[in-house]
Structure 1
Amino acid sequence: MTKDKSYTQILKSTSIFGGSQILTILIGVIRNKILAILLGTVGVGLISIYQSTLDLIKSISSLGIETTGVREIAAANDDSGEKDQLHYVISIIDRWALIFALLGAAICLLFCYPISMWVFGNSSHALQFALLSICMFFTILAAGQAVVLQGLRRISYIVKSSIIWNVCGLIISLPLYYFYRLDGIVPVFIVVSIAMYLSAYFYRRKIEIQPMPVSFEHLKRRGISVLRVGVFIVLASILTTLSFFFVRAFLTKNTGLESVGLFQAAWTITNVYLMLILKSMGSDFYPRLCTIIHDNKKAGLLINEQTYIVLVIAVPIIILLLLCSKIALSLLYSSDFEGATIILNWQILGTFFKVLSWPLGFILLAKGKGLIYFFSESAFLIIYLGAIHCLYPFYDFESVGISYLIAYSLYLPIVFILGRKLSKFGWTNENLRIGFISLILVLLAFCIVKYFSNYTIIAGIPILVMSLSYSLYKLNKVFPLKSLLDFFKRQ
């Protein structure tokens, strides 16, 4: 693939997937507004605790199939003429997804009482966790369907599936939250998970895949081989989930449950809404990288191209969020959540380093270096938790945001060094220049918002305009804007 075509492919997949994310964000805005009005900070905090617990159980029971499965399917799909091998790999992934779904549901069901005691300190939520076994079952099954779609790079199917379950989830959750308030939380979890699975299954069935017979011995042998990397991904995911559970527990103990709701609001903006940008790119980038990862030159070129696009698209959004952080919290939640601004701005600044490290992290996964990936993720979490512990006595709630910035600013050189060791990767001079200029603009916006908030509009808007102009100029160099406009018109 030529350089121009590669940039075109990146922009194409990003525009298709990103377009759906706009709708997802709008749905999220409506949903969060409903949660803020009907459930308040306590309800948002309760949902956060349920979600983090489910994430932990899912991490344990799914054994990294969402990452390793995509890697295996993408590699098999690259072997031209080997359709039987591709269908065989998909059949194995399907069977393991079902096994993991049953395992996840069993953990929720069998350990509902101890989970409630562990999370809440009493058994009052044991029934809720037992019912959430249904949610866990369909969530993992849906992940198995999504793995096939992403591994085969069926971006349009992923997009349509995402739109369907988000819209259905919103429509059904409205009356449940209105009539049942806090009691409607668990039913909403279940309904959304079923909608997620059905929509993914519908589009998965559109692909002509011949089911292949797989003996138990082959299932075990190939599965163990595929999931060996997944074990380390699971360990990293468990460690991540536990870490953020400890952060929420720490905040609950020291500042109350409302602070957990504020933390969740800031976390959602920086790690859900901004991650939608990266997810839009990663849906196609990761499978492409898996097919060429053994060619260091091609892999390095693709990573630099992806980094270029990440910077020109994400940086103006980061600056915009910095300038509108308080407005964003009021719009997405309510005025009760404006207290989250104190950590949100620090986290948005840290996101700049996150988007730079994001393409590098895929090197470890595409190379199948599970242990090294676990090391890098553990390093981030140790720095993050350690910084909170050290800074909290001095900065109180704000320490959570400052620690986020510190952790990602140190995580970036870690994954860069690891990526360079594994694939001889290095940033191009062009990317270094863009990164330096972007960092200056982001720091200026942060300083204005943090220390000169009265001048946010006067001084902040020119910085945003400069960032947008610079990004459009750089985008025009790899994909002429006239062609870009024509491309969007054809979609």
Structure 2
Amino acid sequence: MAKGNKSYTQILKSTSIFGGSQVMTIIIGIIRNKILAILLGVAGVGLISIYQSTLDMIKSVSSLGIETTGVREIAAIPEEDKNRLNHIVSIIDRWALIFAILGAAICLLFCYPISLWVFEDASHAYQFALLSVAMFFMILAAGQAVVLQGLRRISYMVKSAIIWNALGLIFSVPLYYFYRLDAIVPVFIMVSIAMFLSAYFYRRKIDVESVSVSFEELKKRGASVFRVGIFIVLASILTTFSFFLVRAFLSKNAGLESVGLFQAAWTITNVYLMLILKSMGSDFYPRLCAVVTDNAKTKQLINEQTYIVLIVAVPMIVSLLLFSKIALSLLYSSEFDGAASILNWQILGTFFKVLSWPLGFILLAKGKGLIYFFSETLFLILYIGSMYCLFPFYDFDSVGIAYLIAYSIYLPLVFVLSRKLSRFEWTKENLVIGFISFILVLLAFCIVKYASNYAIIAGIPVLVVSLSLSFYKLNKVFPLKSMFDLFKK
């Protein structure tokens, strides 16, 4: 097998392991969202969304980018160098504990100001104080996951994710059934504990010893690691804050129900659809960190990853466009049909997102924290600015249109930055596939938008062409018979 094909095999193998497990995660998520939609309604889903976005923002402040910089540090160390590996992992473990305490303290000490800021009254201060427990275990779990990903223990990562998702579902159903909205905070806490315990269980299976680390070592090594992390944190804070602004803007201008509709559309485009990218990224980022000093190898790896991303993600994008209303009804309920319009705009924007996704990793792998922060900030300014400007004209649809505008500008930006940093350029084959794929996605969008009554009938040929192209291109780098054997395994 050619060298290139070996790399494609590695990409497909990691994707099949991680992505295959995501089928179970998706099923659990569908059941969970269905339960939330039925038992809590649109307003309940919106409340969970606000709690989650607030916790994400506090976690971003507290963890100082450890989930990215930690993986980068571990992935750069040859696994046979046990002493260095033990040392770095021990430092990361200790920093994760410090950050977990810090995150919990922020929730606990500032519960009243947070409630006033988020809800404009102190009615939820007690809930935010209790969520300090969830924050503590969420950051501890992130520290365990860093080690698993940095060492590319993909199977351990996916088993851990399945366990805590399943436990979260099992324990949350009776709580939501009997206590409805009052069960939201206890469920957050239980899920975070399950998340940590499952990650810790598999982390202990790895042959890495905990070694003593002096305070000076901890401070010195931490400072060098988090010089990049601070910019990741700032970008993450800005991102979380921006989406909090979106939710707050919708809540004030269109009601809490609109926040629930937005959350449904956001979950489909950035959770279910992006699972394929997460599956690839779990192995791709550590691999990129290992070769990022070699521009030729970086270019090759990015192009290989882009090739696989296009042929796997595009049929999913076309399918979601054609069946968006059905997806909303199945995943949530008929109450969420109002999210279909912004969902279609966001799915169209997702095409540009999947193309920009491999390029964004170059900035992180090379440790260009300031440039990464600049690119993320520009995206958020475009997104929030477009939404505010378009809302008087397009109302709720402005959220989806803004998403499309922001990513269509973000893609050429990260391409230019990647070219300057590593002399990157797409291969001719990827350019051709990308152009054909965009035409197919645009056709599907136009059919759904302007001929919705005939969307499925008119869209099926587009979906068939998209699937045929994907199978043809996949067969070129990895025979389908071998692929089926791999996924079966």
Q: The TM-score by the shorter chain falls in which range?
A: over 0.9
Residue 467 of structure 1 corresponds to 466
Q: How far apart are 1:274 and its partner, in Å? A: 1.2
- Is residue 73 of structure 2 the alignment partner of residue 53 of structure 1? no
Q: How far apart are 1:230 and its partner, in Å? A: 0.5
Residue 129 of structure 2 corresponds to 130
Residue 83 of structure 1 corresponds to 82
- Name the SS for the 1:425 alignment partner: coil
Where do 1:246-395 residues align within 5 Å? 246-395=245-394
CA distance in 2, matches of 1:486, 1:143: 33
- Name the SS for the 2:260 alignment partner: helix
Q: Render the CA deviation track for 1:382-433: whole Å, top value 9, x for unaligned.
A: 0001101111111011010000000000000000000000000000000000
Residue 204 of structure 1 corresponds to 203
RMSD across aligned positions (CA): 0.8
- Is residue 25 of structure 2 the alignment partner of residue 24 of structure 1? yes
Question: Which residue identity is paired with 1:124?
Answer: S
Q: Render the CA deviation track for 1:417-463: whole Å, top value 9, x for unaligned.
A: 00000000000000000000000000000000000112212210110
Question: Which residue identity is paired with 1:15?
Answer: S
CA distance in 1, matches of 2:166, 2:246: 31
Question: Which residue identity is paired with 2:115?
Answer: S
Q: How far apart are 1:42 and its partner, in Å? A: 0.5
Residue 138 of structure 2 corresponds to 139
- Name the SS for the 2:395 alignment partner: helix
Residue 226 of structure 1 corresponds to 225
Q: How far apart are 1:81 and its partner, in Å? A: 3.9
- Is residue 207 of structure 2 the alignment partner of residue 177 of structure 1? no
Q: Render the CA deviation track for 1:337-356: whole Å, top value 9, x for unaligned.
A: 00001100000000000000
CA distance in 2, matches of 1:96, 1:346: 40
Question: Which residue identity is paired with 2:58?
Answer: I
Residue 43 of structure 1 corresponds to 44
CA distance in 1, matches of 2:400, 2:456: 23
Q: How far apart are 1:208 and its partner, in Å? A: 1.1
Residue 106 of structure 1 corresponds to 105
CA distance in 1, matches of 2:376, 2:84: 33
CA distance in 1, matches of 2:272, 2:487: 22
Q: Render the CA deviation track for 1:153-180: whole Å, top value 9, x for unaligned.
A: 0000001000100000000000010000
CA distance in 1, matches of 2:274, 2:101: 29
CA distance in 2, matches of 1:278, 1:158: 15
- Name the SS for the 1:123 alignment partner: coil
CA distance in 2, matches of 1:22, 1:188: 23
Q: How far apart are 1:240 and its partner, in Å? A: 0.5
CA distance in 2, matches of 1:5, 1:346: 37
* Greater shift in the superposed pair: 451-460 or 416-425: 451-460
CA distance in 2, matches of 1:143, 1:486: 33
- Name the SS for the 1:213 alignment partner: coil
TM-score for both structures, normalised by structure 1: 0.99
Question: Which residue identity is paired with 2:189?
Answer: I
- Name the SS for the 2:40 alignment partner: helix
Structure 2 contact 11–305 (Cα < 8 Å) conserved: yes
Where do 1:232-251 residues align within 5 Å? 232-251=231-250
Residue 421 of structure 1 corresponds to 420
- Is residue 160 of structure 2 the alignment partner of residue 165 of structure 1? no
Q: Render the CA deviation track for 1:63-118: whole Å, top value 9, x for unaligned.
A: 00000000000001x3x642100110000000000000000000000000110011
Residue ranges of structure 1 left out of the alignment (5+ in a row): none
CA distance in 2, matches of 1:121, 1:372: 35
CA distance in 1, matches of 2:110, 2:383: 30
- Is residue 405 of structure 2 the alignment partner of residue 406 of structure 1? yes
Residue 66 of structure 1 corresponds to 67
Residue 477 of structure 1 corresponds to 476
Question: Which residue identity is paired with 2:316?
Answer: I
- Name the SS for the 2:396 alignment partner: helix
Question: Which residue identity is paired with 2:122?
Answer: S
CA distance in 2, matches of 1:279, 1:458: 32
Q: How far apart are 1:488 and its partner, in Å? A: 2.4
Question: 4+ residue runs of structure 1 moved beyond 3 angstroms?
Answer: none
Q: How far apart are 1:37 and its partner, in Å? A: 0.3
- Name the SS for the 1:132 alignment partner: helix
Structure 2 contact 16–486 (Cα < 8 Å) conserved: no
- Name the SS for the 1:119 alignment partner: helix
Residues paired across the two proteins, number: 488
Q: Render the CA deviation track for 1:293-325: whole Å, top value 9, x for unaligned.
A: 000000110000000000000000000000000
Residue 214 of structure 1 corresponds to 213
Q: How far apart are 1:486 and its partner, in Å? A: 2.0
CA distance in 2, matches of 1:268, 1:321: 13
Q: Render the CA deviation track for 1:261-301: whole Å, top value 9, x for unaligned.
A: 00000000001111111000000000000000000000110
Question: Which residue identity is paired with 1:401?
Answer: G
CA distance in 2, matches of 1:283, 1:359: 12
Residue 6 of structure 2 corresponds to 5
Question: Which residue identity is paired with 2:41?
Answer: G
Q: How far apart are 1:361 and its partner, in Å? A: 0.2
CA distance in 1, matches of 2:80, 2:484: 37
Residue ranges of structure 2 left out of the alignment (5+ in a row): none
Question: Which residue identity is paired with 1:90?
Answer: V
